[in-house]
Structure 1
Amino acid sequence: MSAETLASREVPKKENRFKVWRQTRPFWAGLFTMLGGVPIAYLPYGDLRLGNVTLTMATTAGAGALIIGVLLITLGLTMWFQPLVRVFAGIAAIVLALVSIPVSNFGGLVVGFLLALIGGALSASWAPAPEKEETEDEPVEAEYDGEPAHADETGTVMTAGVPDQRDGATETSIDAKGGRNSAG
């Protein structure tokens, strides 16, 4: 964004700042991508205790899973704070999600894989809303008051900028039933 663009925008109310910030970037894509990176990075190192039983998901590819998880979290933050690279970040998140299947316990028990895949797809497909351009030369529509506005040089009566067609049919005019009128 340029300085002129930032200066021309009006500052939103205090309670609407987060809403405006969220709508100007792929917010949900970044959130899903970051949430997908957490189980992918955590499961190879974490352990779950159920009473006296400890469930450990340690794998030999723990470092790869940690790298993939950290990269997915970084890509999610990139989607939030650098929305111009959203397509690259989205495609990279999809590729990392696919790589996490063999590397990190089926992509963080499929949960991390699905969240990262959805986040990457949302980021790659997100497009910013078009900015409203304020122009001074917008045409103003005239209101029709039932009276002819004026006649042009040829004498054709113009009503609100459109020729008045109430007088006689021509060879090419169409009647109300959809057929052609015969002139004469």
Structure 2
Amino acid sequence: MSAETPVQSAGTFTRLRLRFRDWRGTRPFWAGLFTLLGGIPIAYFPYATLKLGHMSLAMATTAGAGSLIIGVLLVTLGLTMWFQQATRVFAGVAAILLALVSLVVSNIGGFLIGFLFALVGGALALSWAPGEPPVEADGDRETAADPGGEGIRKSLPGDVPGEPALPHETGDGGEADGGVRAEIRDGGHRVG
């Protein structure tokens, strides 16, 4: 594949991978994943029966219902982080609080595994910020910031030929250099 090859000619796996990467980049993906993974052991361990040879080890406790609720809520918050990015702060705070409550309610937070995953997921959700939208190099497309596609830049004094620059933008020779020469000449102080 060369640099000129369009993405459409790539294989199905490559297209799906690129679409997933674009989707993942617009939301707190890792925060949702860690929160979701934190809810699974918290909800699972109170109901699990472990077999050690011929011996069964049951973890059934009176806090099983609380563990199930906390685990399901953490999984729901993880999915919310993925599909409702606007609620990421609420979901992050709720995940951290539920992780702390799981220490007391559900077998030390799913044997610390679920607690740590949910805590990291909540912290990642709080720290995530949406990125800047990419700037379109093509002037033909309409964007939300520039509906006409003409460009937003206004001309400044000194940009138009024949129009004088502002006094603070001229140096010794009358050029529009931002007053750099005047500042250097007077010991770094700007001359009005």
Larger radius of gyration: 1
- Work out which of the residue numbers 113, 118, 133 in structure 2 matches 1:111: 113
SS of 1:108's equivalent in the other structure is helix
- Work out which of the residue numbers 29, 34, 37 in structure 2 matches 1:35: 37
Unaligned ranges ≥5, structure 1: 1-11, 141-149, 179-184
SS of 1:58's equivalent in the other structure is coil
1:170 CA drift (Å): 10
The CA RMSD measured in Å over matched residues stands at 3.5
Letter in 2 for 1:162: D
Letter in 2 for 1:72: L
1:132 CA drift (Å): 4.0
1:12-52 alpha-carbon deviations (Å, 9 max, x no partner): 96341111110100000000000000000000001111222
Unaligned ranges ≥5, structure 2: 1-6, 9-14, 136-144, 156-161
Q: Percent identity?
A: 56
Corresponding residue of 1:130: 132
Rounded to whole Å, the distance in 2 between the matches of 1:170 and 1:17 is: 52
Letter in 1 for 2:102: S
Q: Give 1:19-168 correspondences, 5 Å limit.
A: 19-132=21-134, 136-138=151-153, 157-158=173-174, 161-162=176-177
TM-score (norm 1): 0.70
Rounded to whole Å, the distance in 1 between the matches of 2:183 and 2:64 is: 83
TM-score (norm 2): 0.67
Alpha carbons of structure 1 residues 165 and 62: separation in structure 2 relative to 1, 3 Å: closer
Rounded to whole Å, the distance in 2 between the matches of 1:91 and 1:164 is: 50
**By percentage of residues, which structure has more helix?**
2
Letter in 1 for 2:173: V
Alpha carbons of structure 1 residues 172 and 90: separation in structure 2 relative to 1, 3 Å: same
1:143-173 alpha-carbon deviations (Å, 9 max, x no partner): xxxxxxx9x69995355x328988xx99954
SS of 1:54's equivalent in the other structure is strand
